[in-house]
Amino acid sequence: MRDFSWECRTRVKFGKGCVREHLADFVREFALPGRNIMIGYGGGSVKRNGAYDDAVSVLETLGYSRDGNATEGNLIVEFPGIMSNPTLRRMREGAELAAQMDVGLIIGIGGGSVMDCCKAISVQAGYDGDAWEDFWMQGMPMTHDVIPCGVIVTMPATGSEVNGCAVLTNEDTHIKTDRDYPAMNPVFALMDPSYTLTMPLRQLRAGTFDILSHIMETYFSYPVEDNPADDVSEGLMRGLIRDFRAAVADPEDYQARSNIMWAASLAENRIIKTGKTKDFQAHNMEHQLSAYTDCNHGEGLAVLHPAYYRHICMDGLGKFMRFAERVWGLCREDYESDEEFALAGVDALASFIKEMGLPTTLRDLGFGSDEHKMLKEIADSCFISQGAFRPLTNEEVLDIYEECW
């Protein structure tokens, strides 16, 4: 095995009713004394799925209030309107509010966008410098005290609840990128699968594909020799494919929904990344598409993955063959060559994407001639992963975008 370090400081409570049961204990443990609590959320889905009411009622029993006249240190400071693909500007607005209102705990309620934005706010609000420049751009060590941030998950996808990663979009420079610091891990994550039942089918599909993408982006990287991280990944992929089918067939299937929710966390709590170089080139390509067009993350990945894997399949032949066999159940004897067998695994992935009703072309994402004209600029702005089986060139990124057109 390659050397690695692993930690996950997030405390998780999972299950129906977990917010009402456990949030109070977490607040007592993590809220900085004498300071207010901020709750961050998105466009309002949390008010329809029960998560907002559950959280606020627990905070009220602890003596916190949304009433602006409440005693200092007992205020619930609301920060709504965190958009999908959160912007640096919105994060800065939240950080300014958190600093101004003397916030000592931030609770993000929502999907990956809300969680990422709240995690970044917790970093910026307690920092004198420019967090985007110093951490996201320069990758400087994070040594200042970060305001504790906990999350209540309403959409399984990113795994942001159990890692130190936060993705932001700088709309001025058209850069969308992540940074990962252990200090940015949420201090707690409350995961009640019943909140996810209100997700539109489109978000269910996109979020679940994002999970599969996280596993594949890790699996298809070095080392290629047998190792425990990849063994876990194969099991996770098989289970996720099963649960994805079940959830799409019956969106009320709690068993499938709860499995998917935990699979999202297992894919991104860094366990399957131990000792792996990690690719994430599909993510890099999607992030830049999103930076320019604001497209949906999981849908963008669904479009890009098969085309990308057809480009690198021969560079990681053994691993792609193993994927065909262990994830899709294909048999080598049914194919004339190793190459054909490996590509059959990629074809199986492409068929599954179609079967799940995900978009398969950039035009399906709503791209028109204006976006088409931008593809070269987007490709040139794309980060190139060095953890891949073969690092692409920016010209090849453009080829992939064109193949996805």
Selected range binding ligand NZQ among 1-9, 22-30, 163-171, 336-344, rule: CB under 6 A: 163-171
Interface residue with Zn ion, options 161, 210, 217, 279 (CB under 5 A): 210
If binding means CB under 6 A, how many residues of this protein chain bind ligand NZQ? 35
Confirm or reject binding of residue 43 to ligand NZQ (CB under 6 A).
yes
If binding means CB under 5 A, how many residues of this protein chain bind Zn ion? 1
The angle, 0 to 180 degrees and rounded to 10, between the axes of the packed helices 254-268 and 201-219 is: 40
Q: How far is the CB of 401 from ligand NZQ (least distance, A)?
A: 18
Confirm or reject binding of residue 114 to ligand NZQ (CB under 6 A).
yes
d(CA 204, CA 292): 24
Interface residue with ligand NZQ, options 39, 123, 146, 166 (CB under 6 A): 166
Q: The tokens of 101 are what?
A: 């209102």
d(CA 400, CA 382): 12
Confirm or reject binding of residue 286 to Zn ion (CB under 5 A).
no
Q: How far is the CB of 3 from ligand NZQ (least distance, A)?
A: 23
Q: Pick from Zn ion, ligand NZQ, none: which does 44 bind, CB < 5 to 8 A by kind?
A: ligand NZQ
Task: Tell me whether residue 106 or residue 342 sits nearer to ligand NZQ (CB atom).
Answer: 106
Interface residue with ligand NZQ, options 124, 160, 259, 288 (CB under 6 A): 160
Task: Tell me whether residue 210 or residue 299 sits nearer to Zn ion (CB atom).
Answer: 210
Q: How far is the CB of 176 from ligand NZQ (least distance, A)?
A: 7
Q: Pick from Zn ion, ligand NZQ, none: which does 268 bind, CB < 5 to 8 A by kind?
A: ligand NZQ
Q: Pick from Zn ion, ligand NZQ, none: which does 36 bind, CB < 5 to 8 A by kind?
A: none
Confirm or reject binding of residue 299 to Zn ion (CB under 5 A).
no
d(CA 151, CA 259): 19
> What does residue 278 show for φ and ψ, rounded to 5 degrees?
70, 130
The angle, 0 to 180 degrees and rounded to 10, between the axes of the packed helices 394-403 and 297-312 is: 110
d(CA 405, CA 401): 6
Q: How far is the CB of 214 from Zn ion (least distance, A)?
A: 6
Three-state SS sequence of the chain: CCCCCCCCCCEEEECCCHHHHHHHHHHHHHCCCCCEEEEEECCCHHHHCCHHHHHHHHHHHCCCECCCCCCCCCEEEEECCCCCCCEHHHHHHHHHHHHHCCEEEEEEEECHHHHHHHHHHHHHCCCCCCHHHHHHHCCCCCCCCCCCEEEEECCCCCCHHHCCEEEEEECCCCEEEEEECHHHCCCEEEECHHHHHHCCHHHHHHHHHHHHHHHHHHHCCCCCCCCHHHHHHHHHHHHHHHHHHHHHHCCCCHHHHHHHHHHHHHHHCCHHHCCCCCCCHHHHHHHHHHHHHCCCHHHHHHHHHHHHHHHHHHHHHHHHHHHHHHCCCCCHHHCCCHHHHHHHHHHHHHHHHHHCCCCCCCHHHCCCHHHHHHHHHHHHCCCCCCCCCCCCCHHHHHHHHHHCC
Q: How far is the CB of 280 from ligand NZQ (least distance, A)?
A: 8
Confirm or reject binding of residue 243 to Zn ion (CB under 5 A).
no
Q: For ligand NZQ, what does the binding mask look like between residues 217 and 256, x meaning CB under 6 A?
A: ----------------------------------------
Task: Tell me whether residue 116 or residue 210 sits nearer to Zn ion (CB atom).
Answer: 210
Selected range binding Zn ion among 2-10, 40-48, 140-148, 210-218, rule: CB under 5 A: 210-218
Place of tokens 């996770």: 236
Task: Tell me whether residue 165 or residue 321 sits nearer to ligand NZQ (CB atom).
Answer: 165
Confirm or reject binding of residue 111 to ligand NZQ (CB under 6 A).
yes
Task: Tell me whether residue 195 or residue 341 sits nearer to ligand NZQ (CB atom).
Answer: 195
Confirm or reject binding of residue 198 to ligand NZQ (CB under 6 A).
yes
Q: How far is the CB of 210 from Zn ion (least distance, A)?
A: 4
Q: For ligand NZQ, what does the binding mask look like between residues 281 and 320, x meaning CB under 6 A?
A: --x-------------xx----------------------
Which 44-63 residues touch ligand NZQ, going by CB under 6 A? 44-46, 49
Note whether 40 and 81 are within 8 A (CB): no
The residues that touch ligand NZQ, with contacts defined as CB under 6 A, are 42-46, 49, 84-85, 110-114, 116, 154-155, 157-160, 163, 165-167, 195-196, 198-199, 203, 207, 210, 268, 283, 297-298
The residues that touch Zn ion, with contacts defined as CB under 5 A, are 210
